[in-house]
Structure 1
Amino acid sequence: MGYIDILNPSTGEMIGSMEEKTKEEVTLAMEQARAAFPSWKELSLSKRLDYMKQLREYLVEHADELVEKIASDTGKVHIEALMSEIFATVDFIRYYEKNADSILKPKKVPTPLVLYGRHSEVQYRPIGVVAIISPWNNPFQLSLVPAITALTAGNTVLLKPSEITPLTSLLIEEILTTVSFPEGVVQVLHGGKKTGKHLIQSRPDKIFFTGSVATGKKIMAAAAEHLIPVHLELGGKDPMIIFADADLERAANAAVWGAFTNAGQSCMSVERLYVEFSVYGAVISRLKEKAEQLRIGNGANDDVGSMTSPRQFKVVQEHIADAVSKGATLLCGGKQLHDDTLHFEPTVLVDVNHSMKIMQEETLGPVIAIMPFSSEEEAVRLANDSVYGLNCSIWTRDTKKAERISRQMEYGNICINDVMINAANPHLPFGGIKQSGFGRYHGPEGLLSFCHSVSVTHSKNSRAKDLNWYPYEQDQLEAIRKILHTLHGKNKKISPKEIKELYEKLMK
Structure 2
Amino acid sequence: MHDDLDHTLEAGGAGTAVLLDEPDSQALAPVSSGHSGTFQVRNPGTGEVVGTYPVATAVEVQAAVGRAREAAEWWSTLGFAERGRRLDAFRGILARRIHELAALMREEMGKPHSDAALEVAVVLDHIAWAAKHAEKTLSPRRTRSGLATIHLKGRVGYQPLGVIGVIGPWNFPVMTPLGSVIFALAAGNTVVFKPSEFSPGVGLWLERAMAEVVPEQPVFQVVTGTGATGAALSRAGVDKVSFTGSTATAKKVMAACAESLTPLVAECGGKDAVIIDRDADLDAAVDGVTWSAFANAGQACIGTERVYVHQDRYEDFLARLVDRVGPLQAGPGDEKQIGAITMPSQVGVIEAHVRDALDRGGRVLVGG
Q: TM-score range by the shorter chain?
A: 0.7 to 0.9
Q: Please name the residue that 2:89 is paired with.
A: 54
What aligned pairs does 1:152-301 form with structure 2 within 5 A after superposition? 152-301=186-335
After superposition, the Cα gap between the structure-2 partners of 1:217 and 1:210, relative to the gap in structure 1 and judged at 3 Å, is same
After superposition, the Cα gap between the structure-2 partners of 1:96 and 1:299, relative to the gap in structure 1 and judged at 3 Å, is same
CA distance in 1, matches of 2:150, 2:144: 11
Name the aligned partner's letter for residue 292 of structure 2: G
- 1:158/1:188 contact within 8 Å kept: yes
Match among 45, 49, 66 for residue 101 of structure 2: 66
State the shift of 1:226 in Å: 1.1
CA distance in 1, matches of 2:298, 2:215: 35
CA distance in 1, matches of 2:194, 2:359: 39
What SS does the corresponding residue of 1:130 show, helix, strand or coil? strand
Specify every segment of 5 or more residues in structure 1 that has no aligned partner in the other structure, as ranges: 335-508
CA distance in 1, matches of 2:76, 2:252: 30
State the shift of 1:308 in Å: 1.2
CA distance in 2, matches of 1:106, 1:34: 24
Structure with greater strand percent: 1
CA distance in 2, matches of 1:48, 1:170: 21
CA distance in 1, matches of 2:141, 2:358: 57
Match among 50, 62, 81 for residue 15 of structure 1: 50
Q: Please name the residue that 2:5 is paired with.
A: none
What SS does the corresponding residue of 1:82 show, helix, strand or coil? helix
Match among 70, 76, 79 for residue 111 of structure 2: 76
State the shift of 1:145 in Å: 2.0
Aligned-residue RMSD, C-alpha: 1.6
% identity of equivalent residues = 38
What SS does the corresponding residue of 1:270 show, helix, strand or coil? coil
- 1:51/1:181 contact within 8 Å kept: no
Q: Please name the residue that 2:7 is paired with.
A: none
State the shift of 1:125 in Å: 1.5
CA distance in 2, matches of 1:185, 1:177: 8
After superposition, the Cα gap between the structure-2 partners of 1:145 and 1:116, relative to the gap in structure 1 and judged at 3 Å, is closer
Match among 132, 146, 163 for residue 112 of structure 1: 146
- 2:235/2:260 contact within 8 Å kept: no
CA distance in 2, matches of 1:140, 1:105: 28
CA distance in 1, matches of 2:191, 2:159: 15
State the shift of 1:48 in Å: 1.0
State the shift of 1:44 in Å: 0.4
Match among 24, 27, 47 for residue 62 of structure 2: 27
What SS does the corresponding residue of 2:159 show, helix, strand or coil? strand
CA distance in 2, matches of 1:106, 1:301: 52
State the shift of 1:113 in Å: 4.8
What aligned pairs does 1:483-494 form with structure 2 within 5 A after superposition? none
State the shift of 1:114 in Å: 4.7
CA distance in 2, matches of 1:11, 1:134: 24
What aligned pairs does 1:276-425 form with structure 2 within 5 A after superposition? 276-334=310-368
CA distance in 2, matches of 1:167, 1:315: 26
State the shift of 1:181 in Å: 4.7
Q: Please name the residue that 1:143 is paired with.
A: 177
Q: Deviations over 1:63-106 (max 9, x none)?
A: 1211112112111111110112x111111001112222211111
Q: Deviations over 1:113-149 (max 9, x none)?
A: 5534321121111112111000110112122221111
Number of residue pairs the alignment of both structures matches? 333
Q: Deviations over 1:6-49 (max 9, x none)?
A: 21112221223111212221111111111222222222011111
- 2:67/2:218 contact within 8 Å kept: yes
- 2:50/2:107 contact within 8 Å kept: no
- 2:250/2:268 contact within 8 Å kept: yes
CA distance in 2, matches of 1:320, 1:108: 58
If the length of structure 2 is used for normalisation, what is the TM-score? 0.86
State the shift of 1:161 in Å: 0.2
Specify every segment of 5 or more residues in structure 2 that has no aligned partner in the other structure, as ranges: 1-35
CA distance in 2, matches of 1:198, 1:147: 19
What SS does the corresponding residue of 1:293 show, helix, strand or coil? coil
Name the aligned partner's letter for residue 70 of structure 2: A
Q: Deviations over 1:388-412 (max 9, x none)?
A: xxxxxxxxxxxxxxxxxxxxxxxxx
Name the aligned partner's letter for residue 227 of structure 1: L
State the shift of 1:162 in Å: 0.2
After superposition, the Cα gap between the structure-2 partners of 1:281 and 1:135, relative to the gap in structure 1 and judged at 3 Å, is same
If the length of structure 1 is used for normalisation, what is the TM-score? 0.63
Name the aligned partner's letter for residue 17 of structure 1: T
> Higher Cα Rg: structure 1 or 2?
1
